[in-house]
Amino acid sequence: MRKKFVAGNWKMNKTAEEARLLLNELIPALEPFSHIERAVCPPFPYLMMVRHMLEGTNIGVGAQNMHWEASGAFTGEVSPKMIAEFCQYVILGHSERRTYFGETDETVNRKVKSALSTGLTPIVCVGETLAENEAGKTAEVVWRQITEGLKDLLPEEGLKLVIAYEPVWAIGTGRAATAEVAQSVHANVVRPALAHLFGQEVAGQIRIQYGGSVTAKNAPELFAMPDIDGALVGGASLKAGEFAAIVQAAAEAQA
């Protein structure tokens, strides 16, 4: 059985003090659900503080991006080795990175390989835009993002991945995909694409999160679906009570 995994993507939000206050509320609120994999992904400047505050808990820390090179003349970039000092996870290929910062399937592929070789668990984001969805291209886009973004990985590397299916039209819009639609993409596109790359057995073990306007209200329905193995949560991860309620929904679905 795949263990549910809920991660909070704080994006470019919170001052250091606000981040500290959020964690002070979040740590006790998440404690009863230690059998669920949970992580927070703060902005780079807070990684060290967050890691330190989470010591003694089993709440993980993730970065929101990284460069693929280990070091060098890449002004403004952060390397896998640097984040690995504080993080177990790294979000890669988020749609905001693809849309605003020119991330492509090729750069995602380089980053995934580099993250794996540094011992980080990549949370690889895929998902179609509204225009692609309306043009009936969801399967084609998601299949391409997975097969290109995860190209040339070995099955044992595939096992270490987490995928987040995040339809772009659902991110930050308050308009989540229905549980049925998300389940259908997970079961009929994402997992078959993973099976195409790594074989059925490995594909069956990879967690596929759903992301896009997940809230405490819609989480139970989403997590009841057999191929929705958790969530990547944006806006709702900025409020301790709301994020904890989403983790609780995962815990109830796992039971």
Q: Which residues bind ligand PEP (CB under 6 A)?
A: 9, 166, 171-172, 211-214, 232-236
| Nearest CB to ligand PEP, comparing residues 22 and 232 | 232
Q: How far apart are CB 215 and ligand PEP at their closest, in Å?
A: 8
Supply φ then ψ for residue 82, to 5 degrees. Answer: -65, -45
Q: Smallest distance from the beta carbon of 96 to ligand PEP, in angstroms?
A: 7
Closest approach of Cβ 236 to ligand PEP, in Å?
Answer: 6
Distances (CA, A) of 147 to 69, 109, 199, 227, 231: 22, 10, 13, 19, 21
Closer residue to ligand PEP in complex, CB, 197/222: 222
Per annotation, catalytic residue among 37, 94, 186, 242: 94
Closer of 81 and 88 to ligand PEP (Cβ): 88
**Number of C-alpha atoms within 13 angstroms, CB side, residue 163?**
33
Residue number, 170 or 197, with CB nearest to ligand PEP: 170
Cβ 33 to ligand PEP, closest distance in Å?
A: 19
Residue nearest ligand PEP, CB atom distance: 234
233 SS3 class: strand
Residue with tokens 């191929």: 227
Catalytic site residue from 37, 96, 103, 166? 166
| CB burial readout 70-99, b (16+ within 10 A) else e | eeeeeeeebbbebbbebbbbbbbbbbbbbe
Question: Is 166 annotated in the active site?
Answer: yes
- d(CA 130, CA 197) in angstroms, rounded, equals 27
Q: By the 8 A CB rule, do 9 and 41 touch?
A: yes
Least distance from C-beta 182 to ligand PEP, angstroms?
12
Identify whether the C-beta of residue 7 lies closer than 8 Å to the C-beta of residue 230: yes
Residue 132 annotated as catalytic: no
Beta-bridged to residue 182, according to DSSP, are none
Residues 204 and 212: their CA atoms lie apart, in Å, by 23
Cβ proximity to ligand PEP: between 161 and 232 the closer is 232
Active-site amino acid positions? 94, 166
